[in-house]
Amino acid sequence: MWNMEQFRKELAEIVNLDSSSENLQDIAVIGRMLANRLRDEGYLVETFDEDTRIEARTHSEKDFDVMFVGHMDTVFPKGTAAERPYREEGNLAYGPGVTDMKAGLILAIHLAQRLREERPELRICFAFNSDEEIGSGRSKTWLQGLAKHTRYAFVFEPGRLNNGFVRSRKGGADLEVSFQGIAAHAGVAPEKGANALVEMARWITELTALQDFDAGTSITAGIASGGTAVNVVAEHAQVKLDIRFKNPGEIERIRETVSRLQQNPVVSGVSAGVVFKDVVMPMNPSEVTEQLMEKMNQAASGLGQSICWIDTGGVSDANHIASLGVPTLCGCGPVGNDMHSSGEYLELDTIEKRLELMYRLIVQL
């Protein structure tokens, strides 16, 4: 029913091709490969950004029933595929991006193939991008534009251990603050200076105090730098903070504090420049999504499978789609672990289980 030999052959082929987010030429090789396959299978295919984004449909209508979302990029630099090519050891497969998320791409294509055979009226749309690992800045608008026309969205990020799916994802943002002070000799005339480091320390302390772990809000100062010498009042300082939040209102609370700090410096003579980057809203299940989750539970039970639902702080393209109110399930790919590391692996025996479970769910929608 499912051709596992062919699946593993196709998976090995694309795992052995580099596709870091920064190297669009490499991603385009995979993009052309997948686009040509979909064309050969009769899909209506369009590619964008020199074959680094794929949109493929079963029907010409503007609206569709299900949207299959995936990303072709990985976090691994050029040359990694040659250093660590696809290999199998027992029930595990290894290689850069094997789980995150090249197995998910292949699974989506195989799943759609069977759905088309048995439900030819089902309107399917593929949306594969090339910049998910760096925030989907190039493709977010495109993804959301497509998502407005689907009944359901399925994101084929890795399945989680113990046959897990992702129930919710936190929102996130990067906050970069640069401080401009006044340099002075620390021994001769410190009073003439305005210490950018001191102002930065105040920002870090006050922003960190906004954390509310129970509410799912964290603010982490990850990188900080400043000053030029121990005997010079620091003229410059910079800090980069990672922000995560479950409640959409939290990002506004943080913005308000940032505005207050910027307008009211403690160190006279220091100014702060603020940049919020890559703001992504959280993926929290709506009532309709919870109904879809219950259908998944029922499908799993009918197959004798036990599944679980995971809440995570990581961001994916599911955030962009779910924020529109579209019923969205994430983690629909085969199960794997240790993503973004040299030990990343895929559990081979979960491929067929996921195919059967996703088929059983979608065929009844």
Catalytic residues: 73, 132
Q: Is the peptide bond preceding residue 101 cis, with omega within 30 degrees of 0?
A: yes
Q: What DSSP character marks residue 288?
A: H
The most distant pair of C-alpha atoms in the chain lies apart, rounded to whole Å, by 83
Residues 6+ positions from 256 with CB-CB distance below 8 Å:
none
Q: Return the H-helix or E-strand segment holding 262.
A: helix 250-263
Q: How many CB atoms lie within 10 A of CB 24?
A: 18
DSSP for residue 232 = B
Tokens of 294: 């219950």
Q: What is the rounded distance in angstroms from the CA atom of residue 189 to the CA atom of residue 203?
A: 25
Question: Nearest CA to 261 among 210, 215, 194, 225?
Answer: 210
